[in-house]
Amino acid sequence: MTALLDRVTAAVGSVHDPEYPGVSIAELGLVEDVAVTGDRASVQMIPTYGGCPALNFIAEDVRTAVTAVPGVEVCDVEWLRSPIWTQDRVAPHVVQFLESEFTVTLRRTDGTLVCPVCGSGTVRDTSPMGPSRCRSLAYCDDCRNPVEVMR
Ligand SMILES: [Zn+2]
């Protein structure tokens, strides 16, 4: 039984975020709990942003990956309303990867932003409407680069 749970957990960990190719949903801190009862798996996840349209794709990818595990017939995916997702759920090496690969930064827990390009702290929010509903836009006054903020 434990071995099956391990395989299901590994399958969940193999699912990548559609917005950030190369980054798994587990690394982003979206996975809260994985359980297996008989041939039924249940995955509880925390959305980065409640209105993110990618949530449906992620849930579908998780169901596909988990039901491909031998011994699992059904996979339930549930998005939790609490705890709230915060940037400190993201693995530190993933934060660096997001900054270097996607010029995406995460708001620090004290609410400040740091430029992923030059490291400056003089980043100001410019628009809540980013390239997707899961990202907002900011601007670095030092290196004059637009910065995307994950939310
Ligand atoms: Zn900068």
Instruction: Parse the chain into domains and list their residue ranges.
Output: 2-79, 91-150
What average pLDDT does range 8-28 have in this prediction? 92
Show the tokens assigned to 2.
């434990």
* pLDDT more than 90, % of the chain: 58
User: 114 CA distance to ligand 1 centroid (A)?
Assistant: 8
User: 44 CA distance to ligand 1 centroid (A)?
Assistant: 36
Give the global pTM: 0.83
* Least confident range of 60-74, 106-120, 121-135: 121-135
Please tell me the predicted confidence (pLDDT) of residue 50: 65
User: Who's near 42: CB < 8 A, 6+ residues apart?
Assistant: 33, 34, 35, 36, 75, 76, 77, 78
User: Please, what CATH class does the domain formed by 2-79 belong to?
Assistant: alpha beta
User: 145 CA distance to ligand 1 centroid (A)?
Assistant: 6
* pLDDT more than 70, % of the chain: 96
User: 99 CA distance to ligand 1 centroid (A)?
Assistant: 11
